[in-house]
């Protein structure tokens, strides 16, 4: 039941994530630990830019294995997600066989053999034969449609895929599956039932400080502290889109690029566009409100 993976305790998961520059709370470490232990897919939901996709990348690093990523979009189907035949090569091969005088049954066998199979991410993840299972990242599943979700149901419970011409391919070791969703629509309950669910929230000011320090090591302490205070207070405002961690990191890098050692009004006003991305929000922040936030961030 408990898989032979290098991670045995929640503490170890937490430590490993930390050492790979991913600052996770204990609850996220617990969720990851359970996903690895129970071999269940982990469904991560959260606002955009809180580090959902990053979990999968870091996990692949930690497990020292391959990351296979499937970016979902509306209308994604078996051809794009699982497998497709290399039609042009098949056509050419038919010509060759024909000139060699092969009969039809032989031709069909030849044409639909694995050498003409183009493997897409899901098949790659299932077929992987290494000792270590790969990490399969199904990114932004909320962008796909119901049909694709229904297809995933079968895949995620049995980890097998059937190709009519070849047969059923079953994973020897099921991959570690991470699914992310931005919640632009609700994922169907049947899919959720097969997964462990975790909501990644915005971090606290202290956690955010740790994240900034881990991800942008060259940042001065003072600036990192002020940036996390500023962002923390910004998230209390009534904005259309609150800044995520991705925005915090971007902003920090922007400020560094401008040669700032600490927050000051001119630079803040000039770089507001890297924190909020809606015109209305920008209008709201620009000028006095930003100065107020700045004063609170500096004096905190």
Partner 1 sequence: MRGRTLTRNWLHFGRLLRGLGFDAGPARMLPFLRTLTAIDMSKSDDLQTAVRVHFGRRRDELALLDRALYAFLNSPGDVDAARAGSGTTAREEGPGAILGSRQLSVLDDSDAPDAQDLEVASYSRVEALRRRDFDGMTEEEMAEVRRLIRMMRVPAGVARSRRQRRGGDDRIDMRRLLRASLRYGGEPLVFPWRGPTVRPRPLVLLCDISGSMERYTRVLLNFAYAIQNASARVEAFVFATRLSRITRLLRSHDPDAALNRVMRTVEDWSGGTRIGEAIETFNRRYARRVLGHGATVVIISDGWDRGEPDQLKTAVLRLQRACHRLMAIREPAGRGALPQVLTTVARATGSLSASHAFTSVMTSRMNRVCPSPLPDIQVRASIHSIHARCHDRCESVACGQRPGRPGHRGQYLGQRSAAGRLADGHQPVGKNIRVGQRRVSRGRGVRAGSGNPQGRAISPISLRGQRRPGLDGRSQLRG
CB of 136 to partner 1, least distance (A): 18
Q: Does 73 bind partner 1 (CB under 8 A)?
A: yes
Q: Which of residues 112-141 bind partner 1 (CB under 8 A)?
A: none
Sole window of 33-41, 61-69, 219-227, 265-273 interacting with partner 1 (rule: CB under 8 A): 33-41
Q: Which of residues 253-292 bind partner 1 (CB under 8 A)?
A: 280
For partner 1, the binding residue among 3, 6, 19, 87 (CB under 8 A) is: 87
Q: Which residue lies nearer to partner 1 by CB, 170 or 193? A: 193
Q: Does 2 bind partner 1 (CB under 8 A)?
A: yes
Q: Which residue lies nearer to partner 1 by CB, 91 or 300? A: 91
Sole window of 123-131, 192-200, 223-231, 243-251 interacting with partner 1 (rule: CB under 8 A): 192-200
For partner 1, the binding residue among 6, 19, 91, 170 (CB under 8 A) is: 91
Q: Does 89 bind partner 1 (CB under 8 A)?
A: no
Q: Which of residues 161-190 bind partner 1 (CB under 8 A)?
A: 182-186, 189
SS (H, E, C) the chain: CCCCCCCCCHHHHHHHHHHCCCCCCHHHHHHHHHHHHHCCCEEEECCCCCCHHHHHHHHHHHCCCCEEEEECCCCCCHHHHCEEECHHHHHHHHHHHHHHCCCHHHHHHHHCCHHHEEECHHHHHHHCCCCCCCEEEEECHHHCCHHHHHHHHHHHHHCEEEECCCEEEECCCCCEEEEEECCCCCCCHHHHHCCEEEECCCCCHHHHHHHHHHHCCCCCHHHHHHHHHHHHHHCCCCCCCCCCHHHHHHHHHHHHHCCCCCCCHHHHHHHHHHCCCCHHHHHHHCCHHHHHHHHHHHHC
Q: Does 158 bind partner 1 (CB under 8 A)?
A: no
Residue ranges binding partner 1 (CB under 8 A): 1-2, 10, 26-27, 30-31, 33-35, 37-38, 40, 42, 45, 73-77, 85, 87, 90-91, 94-95, 97-98, 104, 107-108, 111, 142-143, 145, 147, 182-186, 189, 192-193, 196-199, 238, 240, 280
């Amino acid at each position: 039941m408990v898989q032979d993976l290098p991670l045995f305790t929640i503490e170890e998961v937490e430590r490993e994530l930390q050492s790979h520059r991913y600052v996770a709370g204990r609850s996220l470490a617990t969720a990851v630990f359970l996903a690895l232990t129970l071999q269940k897919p982990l469904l991560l939901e959260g606002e955009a830019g809180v580090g959902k996709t990053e979990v999968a990348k870091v996990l692949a690093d930690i497990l020292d294995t391959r990351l296979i990523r499937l970016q979902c979009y509306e209308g994604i189907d078996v051809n794009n997600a699982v497998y497709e035949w290399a039609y042009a090569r098949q056509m050419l091969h038919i010509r060759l066989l024909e000139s060699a005088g092969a009969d039809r049954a032989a031709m069909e066998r030849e044409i639909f053999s694995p050498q003409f199979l183009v493997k897409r991410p899901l098949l790659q993840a299932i077929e992987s034969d290494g000792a270590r299972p790969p990490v399969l990242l199904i990114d932004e599943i909320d962008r796909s449609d119901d049909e694709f979700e229904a297809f995933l149901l079968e895949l995620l419970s049995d980890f097998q895929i059937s190709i009519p011409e070849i047969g059923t391919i079953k994973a020897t070791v099921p991959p570690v599956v991470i699914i992310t969703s931005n919640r632009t629509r609700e994922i169907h309950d049947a899919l959720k039932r097969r997964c462990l669910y975790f909501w990644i929230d915005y971090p606290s000011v202290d956690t955010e400080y740790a994240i900034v320090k881990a991800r942008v090591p060259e940042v001065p302490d003072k600036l990192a502290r002020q940036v996390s205070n500023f962002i923390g207070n910004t998230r209390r405002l009534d904005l259309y889109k609150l800044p995520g961690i991705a925005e915090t990191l971007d902003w920090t890098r922007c400020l560094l690029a401008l040669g700032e050692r600490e927050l000051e009004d001119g630079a803040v006003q000039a770089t507001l566009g890297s924190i909020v991305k809606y015109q209305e929000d920008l209008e709201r922040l620009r000028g006095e409100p930003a100065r107020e936030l700045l004063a609170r961030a500096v004096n905190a």
